Amino acid sequence: MLFTENNLTRFVFPDKPDLQDLQYFLEFQVPLQWAPMFNELVLGPQRRKGSYPSMQFRFLGPKLHVSTSQVPSSQKPVVGLRLYLEGRKCNRLAIHVQHLSSVPSMIADSVASSMSEWRESQDNDPGYIEAIQWKNYSCVCTSAIKYNPEWHKRAPGGVFIVTGAQLVSKGAWAKKVLHLRLLYTHIPNCTIQRTEWRNAPAASQKGSFLTTISTTLSSPFTQRADTHQAKHEPAVQLNSGVYPDGPPVPLRSRKLLKFVDISEVVKGPHDVPGHWLVIAAKLVKEGGKIGIHVKFALLGYEGQSQGNSFMS
């Protein structure tokens, strides 16, 4: 069960978790917040297009601009990621992070002074470079971003969790490569008990052909039908922004959705036992779209059993 208060989404799970997880479950019963929030996004022109790197997936294909702004969570644990199309024309690809609105008490004392480092996807292996359409045009690096074991020389023990994200475009036109960067923060006196990779819901991974047909056949008639249905079946909104459905999107700008999967990949308090955190992620190509997979972890605090062997 969930409800929204002051543009923040609070989850309430009806079943009790195991006794050993109860304390952590309760610590995570706080509103979740997306960064950036929708009211922080500029819908009109903000700076010249030339200042954003752009990608093109085929000859004479549409250009997809890339926002390379860093998106930190102010050291609050991240519980979800998503790709998003920003800008007045929805042609600027960005990364958003969902995080807790406050730091759990069991790590609050240590996180403020903890070490933080950025880590980027590596393209040393050509097998991780995948073209979205034509091979001589823009690609995506699909290698997973994990913490660097060398960091433990400066911060022994503990776990590195994700507290920010950024997209980076590298290479020369027209074969640019899209990379993902993650900001890691060290959390001492804890270990990883369990990990799990998660991707976007299968329903969102339609092929580009079906997406194109759906967009092309959109009409005022179908829009009226959708509006009528929405009145009778209000959907639960997980966004924390001013606009419950996201900023207004021009219909003609949805053509870029056939290249980008903007589904949220989240494990929150509603996922048993309710205290999942993001520790890794990677960009992927699925159904002809750029998507994202996220690795979540359950932490054991105060030196509980099972070491951090799952970090590998």
Give pLDDT tens digits for 17-28: 777 778 888 888
Mean pLDDT of 120-130: 89
Predicted confidence band at 305 (pLDDT cuts at 50, 70, 90)?
Answer: very low
Over the stretch 25-55, which tens digit does the pLDDT of each residue have?
888 888 999 998 765 565 555 555 458 899 9
Segment 181-189 shows an average pLDDT of 95
Average pLDDT for 160-181: 92
Are 138 and 132 a contacting pair, CB within 8 Å? Answer: yes
Question: 277 versus 302: which is more confidently predicted?
Answer: 277
Q: What is the pLDDT of residue 307?
A: 40
Q: Would you say 262 and 142 are in contact if contact means Cβ atoms under 8 Å apart?
A: no
Average pLDDT of the chain is: 78
Q: Are 138 and 93 in contact, with CB atoms under 8 Å apart?
A: no
The pLDDT value recorded for residue 5 is 55
Average pLDDT on 223-251 reads: 47
For the entire predicted model, the pTM comes to 0.77
Q: Could you tell me which residues come within 8 angstroms of residue 241 by beta carbon, excluding any fewer than 6 positions away? A: 7, 34, 37, 38, 39, 247
- Residue 15 confidence (pLDDT): 59
How would residue 107 be classed by pLDDT, with cut points 50, 70 and 90? confident
d(CA 24, CA 2): 18
Helix (H) or strand (E) holding 111: helix 105-111
287 in Cβ contact with 274 (< 8 Å): no
Q: What angle do CA 68, 129, 142 make, to 5 degrees?
A: 65
Average confidence (pLDDT) over 259-284? 92
Residue 8 CA from chain centroid, whole number: 17
